[in-house]
Structure 1
Amino acid sequence: MKRNLHIVIIEDEAATARNLEYILQEIDPDTKVIATLQSISEAIDWFTSTNRSYDLIFSDIRLSDGVSFDIFRQVSIRKPVIFVTAYHDYAIEAFRNNGIDYVLKPFDREEIQRTLHKYNTLIAADIKSELAETAPLLQEFRYTTKPYKKSFLIHYCGRLIPVEAVKIHWFHTEHEIVYAHTADGKQYVVEFTLEQLEHELDPAIFFRANRQFVINKNAVNAVEYFFNGRLLVNIHPSAHEQVLVSKAKAMHFRKWLDQ
């Protein structure tokens, strides 16, 4: 008899979590997402207090309050984990933390179906022994990175204009419209959400500063300490409002600038 798969999702972007759950249930309507956890602290509380059984974890890596590996260091979790992330530089550590697969954002139905097939294959072959043999998996997924978006074809004054991504110094959302601001002070409307841009753009160059801004490293003039552990980022061209990085993201932002 077929056993329904019970899944836990660890993801701080609500839209991404909803999309993943939709794809999982589209693949198999009997799949149940029993918990969606948005932060390290919430995940630790859930895993230490719940008595609900689950089979598999889908986890982002960079969360609002740190990296998800901190969860697995503080809580004994023996279930397999499929890491879903926009960053390819955590692969080694992922496979040291019960990782059986490494899916790069933006993902699609085919990729999720493939990784579920891998999970089912490992279950059939005794997953405990397979988890200890992560080297072949790491080799396989080290080279599966998707190319990041290099340019945008933008509608402007009745024309289509190609604009290189590196020439865009920051993106800003206002009234559900996303604007791209270039180094020379021009502004364009782009047909992406900031969540989509966060996954499409090279994370070595672009950083999601807050809910309103994604900024290019080359746009940063200076960074000042602000109230409550936040950072105030001085960018160019200047924005009409302050660009603040939260206390939770401040450490990651400093590391990003220091690469």
Structure 2
Amino acid sequence: MNVVIIEDEKLAADALADIVAKLRPDTKILSSPGSIMEAVKWLELNQESDLIFCDIHLSDGNSFEIFRKVDVKCPVIFTTAYNQYAIEAFKVNSIDYLLKPIMAEDVAKALKKYESLQQRNLTKGYGDLQEIMQQSQPKQLGARNRFLVKKGQALITVPGEEAACFLAEEGVVFLFTFEGKRFIINQTLDQLEAQLDDRKFFRVNRKFIINIEAVEEIVPYFKGRLSLKVKPPLEMELVVSTYRANAFKQWLDL
């Protein structure tokens, strides 16, 4: 299998290439363009790729521009820190959409999906593959605007605009309001992340999702990480990893 990785962060491109190589040792990485211009130039001259992994936010703009300039025939798996582009991504030969940080198990599922679609398409034309891909897309759900939480023995709802952050701690997920109130919510961070408006909420790390209105101050930390001061104040150090730092800054600047 010939794969192209379009990614402007070398560490991220190398990490993804390593994951793919471990999952499919016979894979050949043909190229790793880091910008729209580089990707367009490469794809215009080379059409032998079987699959493309493509980050949406590149150094010179939105990568959907690539597919407006070049008639790409192979399927695409998009990678990004934001899920609001999912619908547009699925209009561009996309068979999957992976949110960063990318995990090996997510890539494995995406590759299996690609192989399944290829197998189903052995006796069909490319137009039929497009139809199959469209049928396989998950339905998009609206963003959550309220949350059911526990208050003592009772259940109450908290409006979405009052949610400052979500914290996973020892198997329990808490919702913190801007007023400093803390409630237990009966969902995992993974479930919440898929339901939240990612223009307003960001998954900082495995334990924490923050509302953009709760970010008060960002301080550079060692090794490219970021330390956050948030409201309401939390009794813990909140650090954005080196891997998530650029995506976090892009999210704040949308």
Shorter-chain TM-score above 0.5: yes
Counterpart AA for 1:171: F
Displacement of 1:104: 9.3
CA distance in 1, matches of 2:206, 2:19: 26
Residues 1:59 and 1:152: Cα distance change in structure 2 (over 3 Å): farther
Tell me the equivalent position of 1:41: 14
Q: CA RMSD in A?
A: 4.6
Change (3 A) 1:87 1:183: same
Are 2:160 and 1:126 aligned? no
Label 1:40 to 1:130 Cα distance change in 2 as closer, same or farther (>3 A).
farther
In structure 2, how many angstroms separate the alpha carbons of the residues matched to 1:118 and 1:88?
24
Counterpart in the other structure of 1:66? none
Correspondence list, 1:186-205, <5 A: 186-205=181-200
TM-score, structure 1 normalization: 0.59
2:144 equivalent among 149, 155, 162: 149
Structure 1 runs not aligned, ≥5 long = 1-38, 63-68, 70-77, 106-113
Q: Secondary structure at the match of 1:87?
A: coil
- Is residue 164–residue 176 contact of structure 2 (8 Å, CA) maintained in 1? yes
Are the aligned partners of 2:148 and 2:158 in contact in 1 as well (CA < 8 Å)? yes
Contact 2:75 2:94 in 1 (8 A): yes
Matched with 1:210 is 205
Matched residue type, 1:89: Y
Question: What's 2:84 paired with?
Answer: 88
Q: Is the 8 A contact 1:92 1:138 kept in 2?
A: no
CA 1:92–1:126: 2 relative to 1, 3 Å: same
Matched, 1:257 2:230: no
CA 1:91–1:102: 2 relative to 1, 3 Å:
farther
Task: Kindly provide the CA deviation profile for residues 77-109 of structure 1, in whole angstroms up to 9, marking residues without a partner as x.
Answer: x8634559871326556665xx3435699xxxx
Question: 5+ unaligned residues in a row in structure 2: which ranges?
Answer: 1-11, 28-49, 57-62, 64-72, 100-112
1:194 and 1:51, CA in 2 relative to 1: closer, same or farther beyond 3 A?
closer
Distance 2:216 2:94 in 1: 41
Identity of aligned residues (%): 26
Q: 1:101 to 1:179 in 2, by over 3 A?
A: same
CA distance in 2, matches of 1:218, 1:146: 23
Distance 2:52 2:146 in 1: 30
Report how far residue 145 of structure 1 moved: 3.1
Partner secondary structure for residue 223 of structure 1: strand
TM-score with structure 2 setting the length:
0.60
Q: 1:156/1:119 Cα in 2 relative to 1: closer, same or farther (>3 Å)? A: farther
The alignment status of 1:101 with 2:95, answered yes or no, reads yes
Contact kept? 1:172, 1:212, Cα under 8 Å: yes
CA distance in 1, matches of 2:206, 2:13: 19
Inter-partner Cα distance in structure 2 for 1:213 and 1:47: 28
Deviation, structure 1 residue 201:
0.8
Greater mean alpha carbon deviation, residues 114-123 or residues 235-244: 114-123
Q: Distance in 2 between matches of 1:255 and 1:227?
A: 19
* Distance in 1, Cα, partners of 2:191 & 2:138: 22
Paired residue for 2:243? 248
Give per-residue Cα distances to partners, 1:156-178, cap 9 Å, x unaligned. Answer: 12222111122110111111111
Aligned residues: 200
